[in-house]
Amino acid sequence: MSVITRRTFLDGAAKGGLALGAGSLIAACGSSSSSSSPGTTASSSTTGATGTPKHGGTLTAGLTGGSSSDTLDPNSPVNNTDYARVANLYESLVWLNAAGTPVYRLAKEMTPNSNATEWTIRLRDGVTFHNGKPLTADDLIFSIHRVLNPKAPGEAASALAGIKAGEIKKLDKLTIRVPFSHSYSTFIETLAANITVYLVPVGFDPKMPVGTGPFKYKSFTPGQQSVFDRNENYWNSPLPYVDSLVMTNFEDETSQVNALLSGQVDVVNLLSQDTINTVTGSGKKVVISPGGGWNPFTMRVDQAPFNDVRVRQAFRLLVDRPKMNDVVFGGHGTLGNDVFSIWSTEYDHSLPQREQDIEQAKHLLKAAGQADATFQLTTADIAQGVVNMAQVFAQQASAAGVKVKLNQVTVTDFYGPNYLKWVFAQDYWYYQAYLAQVSQATLPKSPYNETHWNDPHYTALYQQALAQNDSAKRDEIAHEMQKIDYDQGGYIIPFFPPVIDGYSPKVGGIIQSKVGSSFNDWNFEAMYKMA
């Protein structure tokens, strides 16, 4: 069968059958001074179950999403197709391999000082940009400054906010030292996430999108299509395999799947579980990945009724998680426990699995004086399955006698002036390590603190973790924080949704991945065409 389930995937991974992270795992190596362990190659994912990889041919991808605001600027990818293009033109210092572990990519080594207030970054030698210019420390400094530019801050600006931009020092041709205004032991994990710093040459202009990535720019029409050519001088040879990569936007899943079935595209991404049978029944394949991305329900802890922890806990107990997973994702998701970053080494698997408990939920709501209240849940079609999750939630709540009214808005309205202000809504996140995720979501200063979480003890724990270079000690602190998330947090995380991608059997090099975005984070360089 072409469908690989999560179970077989995990078995395979355990037996070493899948090439998860052939590159050295930065964070998992050793318990102390983990971050300074040497990393090697970033290629992690080229074990196709079928045949040996070969060069040549054109790979056509039908990708969901995109609009006329599509961009090639590595500073501001917004939708799926943006991320796909950016991840193939440019590269970051580190990235997540298929197991969700950070590995070096353009960095040769990243070393913190004793309290992680200063990081020394050495670049990989012998890397050239698409225009032939060698990658140097100056380019790295330029790229960091470009993200931090106050006139056009990049998406990663908040993750780099602690950098003392004026004091970055070039040590030699390939090495820089970056001082921070505070300890930042999780710098590597943060940069490895989806929101990152892509390296561009000094003087970069998005109209001439030059990077070091496996593919180089040929043409791009926003909202329609991009054509990239193989980077013949890619440092990580023999990758990439195909000569040309064509990515076409699709608005509608039906036409996306039709294009795959009629052979007009080789791969399609982010399918719903309803189309799995259509695809496999027509001789095509699907890969179902146990993604670490998450689609939470977000409850604002500073607003009634969710400022009462009993209401939040009651709502968490209302959810029949396995049922919701079955209905929305055919059971392919991984059950969640209201704590994010399930594949992170920092994740505490010892917390008991939360299950539906209607009696307790009703008891808590009654105690909070909310037994007869009507709750409004704002939802929008922001990611695969999100609206369905809201519908199932409303049904499960009403079956328990709790009235939840859906307020479905357009995606643009959702991200309009009320974004991050909705009292009870939803969101989607790609996977990142726990503490890196905390910096984005659950600190008073987090850019996307949608639950308005502001717990001084929690924040203090985070600060301690940042000063801690010993990853085992960081894990301990992270577990303590997760206990707080679990007992009081503003998120409901019923499960971690699967990533379902479809492909033609003529394409090799497609693997499962935990990173939560399609094709092992748009890893088209590992794909090859079979004759």
Partner 1 sequence: MSTSADVSALGIRRTQMRQAAGSFAKRHPIIQLVVVRVALGVLTLFAVSIVIFAATQALPGNAAYAVLGHGATPQRIHALELRLHLNRSLLSQYGSWMGGVLKGNFGTSLANNESVSGLIGGRIENSAVLVFAAGIIGSLLAGLLGLAAASRRDGWFDHIASVIALVITAMPEFNVAIALVILLAVNVAHLLPAVSTIPPGTHAWDNLKLLILPVATLAIVIAPYIFRMVRAAMIEALESDYVEMARLKGVSNRRILLVHALPNALPPIIQVVGLNLLYLAGGIVVVEYVFNYPGVGAALVDAVSNRDIPTLQFIVLVLTAFYVLVNILSDVIALMATPRRRAPR
Of 60 and 101, CB closest to partner 1: 60
Identify the residue whose tokens are 């146990």. Answer: 290
> Residues 492-531: x/- map of binding to partner 1 (CB under 8 A)?
----------------------------------------
Of 34 and 256, CB closest to partner 1: 256
Per-residue buried b or exposed e for 270-305, using 16+ beta carbons within 10 Å of the residue's own CB:
bbebebbebbeeeebbbbbbbbbbbbbbbbbbeeeb
Contact between 81 and partner 1 (CB under 8 A)?
A: no
Contact between 447 and partner 1 (CB under 8 A)?
A: yes
Of residues 418, 460, 472, 505, which one binds partner 1 by CB under 8 A?
Answer: 418
Closest approach of partner 1 to the CB of residue 418, in Å? 8
Query: For strand 334-335 and strand 495-496, is the pairing parallel, antiparallel, or unpaired?
Result: antiparallel
Contact between 355 and partner 1 (CB under 8 A)?
A: no
Query: For strand 94-96 and strand 58-64, is the pairing parallel, antiparallel, or unpaired?
Result: unpaired
> In the chain, what is the straight-line distance between the N-terminal and C-terminal CA atoms, in Å?
21
Side by side, which strands form the sheet with 169-172? 107-112, 118-123, 175-179, 169-172
Of residues 17, 58, 133, 152, which one binds partner 1 by CB under 8 A?
Answer: 152
> Residues 223-242: x/- map of binding to partner 1 (CB under 8 A)?
xxx-----------------
**317 vs 297: CA distance, rounded Å:** 13
Q: How many CB atoms lie within 10 A of CB 321?
A: 22
Closest approach of partner 1 to the CB of residue 214, in Å? 22
Q: Identify whether the C-beta of residue 199 lies closer than 8 Å to the C-beta of residue 90.
A: yes
DSSP 41: -
Of residues 50, 264, 277, 360, which one binds partner 1 by CB under 8 A?
Answer: 264
Alpha helices (H) in 137-201, listed in sequence order: 137-148, 187-192
Of 98 and 195, CB closest to partner 1: 195
Q: Mark the segment that binds partner 1 (CB under 8 A) among 61-69, 117-125, 284-292, 327-335.
A: 61-69
Q: Identify whether the C-beta of residue 213 lies closer than 8 Å to the C-beta of residue 240.
A: no
Contact between 377 and partner 1 (CB under 8 A)?
A: no
> Residues 157-196: x/- map of binding to partner 1 (CB under 8 A)?
xx------------------------------------x-
Contact between 277 and partner 1 (CB under 8 A)?
A: no
Structure tokens at 470: 């010993």
Report CA torsion sign: 141, 142, 147, 148.
positive
Of 353 and 418, CB closest to partner 1: 418
Structure tokens at 213: 């990535």
Closest approach of partner 1 to the CB of residue 465, in Å? 23
**297 vs 392: CA distance, rounded Å:** 12
Contact between 243 and partner 1 (CB under 8 A)?
A: no
Closest approach of partner 1 to the CB of residue 123, in Å? 27
Structure tokens at 238: 């023999």
Residues forming contacts to partner 1 in the complex (CB under 8 A) are: 67-71, 76, 78-79, 150-153, 155, 157-158, 195, 219, 221-225, 248-252, 254-256, 258-259, 261-264, 282, 382, 410-413, 415-420, 427-428, 447-448
